[in-house]
Structure formats: C-alpha cells, structure tokens
Amino acid sequence: MGLTKKGKNLWFFEDLYTDATYGFQVSRVIVPETDTGFQKLMILETDRFGRVLVLDGIVQLTEEDEGIYHEWIAHWPLFALRKPAQHVLIIGGGDCGVAREVLRHKSIKRVTMVEIDRMVCDLCRQYMPSVSEGVYEDPRFKLIIGDGAEVIRQMKGKCDVIVIDSTDPIGPARSLFNTDFYQSVYDALTDGGITIHQTGALILQPFEAPGSWRQIERSFDDVRVVQFSSVMYMGGPFSLTAGSKGKGVFRNAERNALKAYKKAGFKTSWYSPHISAIPYPEFQKRLETDKYGEEIVIDIELPANSRPGAKQVEKWADQTCAAIKMKAFGEPIAASDKLVDGETLVQYVETSAINYRRYGRMAALNCFTCAALPVEDAIRSSIEFFKSGQAICWHLPRGSFADIKKIRKNTKIFEYNPTTAKISKVFQPQLVESAEAFARDFPFFRKKGTDEFELVMDIYDCDYAKISSPAVVARWAGKEFPKYTGLKTVGKADAPDFGHAKKKTAGPSVVQLLKGGSNISHYSVNWLMIVVNVVVRQRFSLEKAVRRTMKYFQGKYAVCWLLPRGSLNHSLKQIAANTYIFTVESK
C-alpha cells in the first residue's frame, strides 16, 4: 500500500502482510522511495515516531522506539556470555543501531559490520544520525560493504557474538536464510560464542521462529528464543532466535546477565536482565513441534458397480472438510466430470489438500494437513460416505525433524473397522537404504499389488527463492518432473500461493494431474521444505524422481515412502511388508 492520501493528510501503510496492515500519518517525505540496487529505501518524518526507515514497503525502525530492538538484540547475547566479548560481527545493520549498542561494552576491541547495501549506511548516517550516534568515529568499528554470507567464511573461530540484523528472507537477505550460512556462522564463533537474529512477529509470523529454531538446531549446540514487544513491528510479541557454540551456554544465561549488567557501568533504556524474555507457553509449544504436518492415506473398497463421478466426489470432499474441521480453499480440481479409472479430484483446504482417485473398485484417498488431523474422523467419514466395509490406512508424520528410526516408528499401517470403531494391529514400513530403493531389482515393483503406487517425498533445506515462487514450482510439476520420470501430464499445473502470512502454509501448493494419477505438493517458506505425493500406475526411476527434485529445489535431505495403492485381496501384513521408507542426502 505504501504512501497514500487520506483526506488532506499523507499516510503510510505497511506492505508486509497480505491480509493485515498498520499505518501512520506522515508529516514529510525526507527521502522519496529510492532504488538502491538491492531494495527500495524511503525515510519519512512523523510527529509521533520521529523519522522512520522503510525498506521494500516494510518499516525497519523508528527513532521513537528503535532502542527496544537494538538493545535486546545486542545486549541479550553479550550479557549472556560466560566471559566478556571482544570481537562482535554484525551482518546487516546498516542503520548502525546494533553497532552503537555493542560499542557501549568496554570489553569490545573490534566490531565488524558487513552490510550489502551502501546506500542504507549513507542515507541513515545522513538523515538519522541519532541511530548511528558516534559509531563511525569509534576506532573499534570497521564497516565492510559486501555479502555477509561470503565474508563470514573467512572468519573461522574469531567472533564471540554474531548478530544477524537482516530483513525478512526476501531480496538481499535471501543468502542469510539457509543451512550452509548457519554452519558458517557456527564455524566463525569462538567456543562458548552466541549468534542471534530476528525471527519475526510471533503472532503474524507464527512459524518463522520455529522454522529458524530447527535450522539453527541442526548446526548449533543449543537454541533459545527471546521474546519482547515493539511498536514498530506490527503484531505484538516479537522474536529473536539465538544459537550457541557449545552445550550449556544458555543454562546460566540469566544469571550471567544479572552479574555482567551490574558491572557494565552503563544504563539501558529498554533492555533489562530483570525482564523475562521467555516466550509465551503457546509459542514455546510451537517451538517444540517436531513435524510440519500429518497425513492419512486411505484405500477403501467401493461397492459393486460404484463409479463415483466428480459431483459425488465433491460431496465427499465437503464432508471430509467438515469431518476434519477444515475450510475449502478454492474450487475442486478434477481430471474430468466422470472421473474414470485412475483420474483424480483434488480439493485444497486451508492447510493443504485432500484428494481422490479410483483404481477399479478401490478408492485411493489422501488427506494431508499442517494442523492437527483428527485421523479416525477422516477415516470414518470416508467409509460412511462410500458405504464401504473397512479401510487400509497409512498414517504418516510429514516433515518430521526426528531421526529416520523415529519417523519409521511414527508411521503407522493399519486396518480400520467402522463397525467396531477399532484399529487393527499396527505395522511399520520396511526401512531400507536409498541405494537399495534405487536399484533395478528393488522388490517393491516385483511384488503383486503395485500396479498403482505412491511416492511420498519430504525434502528439507530447500532454496527459499525457488520454493516461494509459484511459477518455479509450477514449472517443476508441469515440465521438469514429467521430463525425468516419463509421466504424462493432464492439463496445466495449478499453483496458488497460500500467502506468506498464513502460518505453516506460507508458500504455494501445486497440483499437476497425470495420466493415471496426480502429483500434489506443498511448499513451506518458513520451514524451507517441500512435501510431495505422486500417485500413478506407470513405473519410473525413483532415483531420478528424488534426486532431480532435490537438485531442482536445492534440497539437502529427503525422507521418502513407497506405498502400494489399491491393493485388493492382500492382507495387511503383505501390504506393510511392501511399504518402504528411506532417506536420501544430496550429492
């Protein structure tokens, strides 16, 4: 929305969210929107907040309350250390507010700030001098204009604290939001060192902090989320996520801070070690969530001569939405009105999708959600709708951050009997190495009951720029994946963006109908993850399907399942024996 006239007055409205905004009256435009070569910068004058820095339509700081953010992101890690810091690295931070606060510590010998956009430094220094206040005159301060992701690789073991003072993971900040970068940060820290960076508003960006938590958790020895509130960041509670090099660094963080703050010899206006920075219990629960979502895969035998068409299956989709307490997102996507053998119908829901296809007398159903999934309600509702006797089910944890043995244990294969409302004995899939799964003589395809099958892929640490673009993911589904699998597409890929303010569904989803099946996938920009379900009849190279998909999205790691679908006249034990799980790492 940006600058807009409201009556006789000029107002600014922030553009960060698609479904929420806030605004303030502007008394003067000091720096009109300027393309810096990296982003669009604007500096505004207001009566209420003083001068305001705006980048790409998003408020970065106001003179009135910039100290809240800058004091917390600087002093929390510095006072939490076991011993006083000497060298601090700041990545981003061109306004110099973080550097100003760090330099207040007498123990500091050197502050290195790496900012990719020189115009941010120059214009903030010229028009917002109260923020940088003496930084450029301090001989301990060194400014490097460059990409922090590149510079940090040259600083192994040199930094006591690293502050990542970047914008959200868009534009020039993209290189700072991947696992390789976090590993470089870890390597640049001294033993016992701490890194910290902003991870968004906990209500309006509720899974940005959990996503960063899990990324940092893979490289660092301990992780802590710091919560505070600031006027300039819409949404109330705001988060910083910190990682330590060495275990137990955060165990005494509060005690260390109380002692160090007392000895510091200066006063702060906004930060205090006496103020609790522990996240609210609800946010802590989200941090402890170890999976992106869950899915129930259901095969049910249809009554004799039952051939549901699209209208009837749409009613099933509506009933399923009600059963799992989800709202439909958009109109159903169907291969045809009749839905003949092998054709698919998909209904997006507010947190992913449900879908149907028929193979002979078997209805192959999937119900995937990023929210809590009432599994038995979904199964029971489908059995009742199609008037079936029982269901073969696979219950999958999707996007789990547990190890593969735990993921296997949490994958449940069972029969459900609606008459008794009971689940049969539960089986787990067969755990194999990827080399075995990719071999030509892999037994999955030699066993009976795999005329129809499903490849499920959860791919982690993907490239943000790729998974956040509907055009890029549509190209993968409609062009690239069919090219290296030989699968025939039906129609074009449908790739709606669920919106970047919608919790775990931030990012697009894609449906590509296929001859004899479908390719349905979902993309989480906050978790840097894609989840894929390919259900088909035609056999293809599993290795090409998995590895080339990983390469396309630059994913680092994948968890994959193989499920036999539509298997009539096979026992549950036989079906479980022909269900496989394996992991793949990028080459």
b/e code 318-340 from CB counts within 10 Å (16+ = b) = eebbebbebebbeebbbbeeebe
- Supply 186's token pair: 């870890």
Measured N-to-C along each axis, helices 253-263 and 66-80 cross at an angle, to the nearest 10 degrees, of: 110
Domain with CATH 2.30.140.10 in the chain: 2-62
CATH of 293-585, picked from 3.30.479.10, 3.40.50.300, 3.40.50.720, 3.60.90.10, is 3.60.90.10
pTM of the predicted structure, to 2 decimals: 0.67
Neighbours of 427 (CB within 10 A): 18
All residue ranges of the chain with pLDDT < 50 are: 169-175, 500-501
**Cα–Cα distance, 213 to 208 (Å, whole number):** 8
Domain with CATH 3.60.90.10 in the chain: 293-585
| Residues annotated as part of the active site | 165
CATH of 2-62, picked from 3.40.630.30, 2.40.340.10, 2.40.50.140, 2.30.140.10, is 2.30.140.10
pLDDT of res. 171 = 39
Domain with CATH 3.40.50.150 in the chain: 66-287
Q: Could you give the C-alpha distances from 259 to 79, 103, 254, 294, 346, in angstroms and in order? A: 8, 19, 9, 46, 59
pLDDT of res. 169 = 46
pLDDT of res. 562 = 98
pLDDT of res. 207 = 64
- Supply 257's token pair: 């801070």
- Whose CA is closest to 384, among 363, 370, 368, 369? 363
Top CATH class, 66-287: alpha beta
> What are the tens digits of pLDDT across the range 262-282?
999 999 999 999 998 998 888
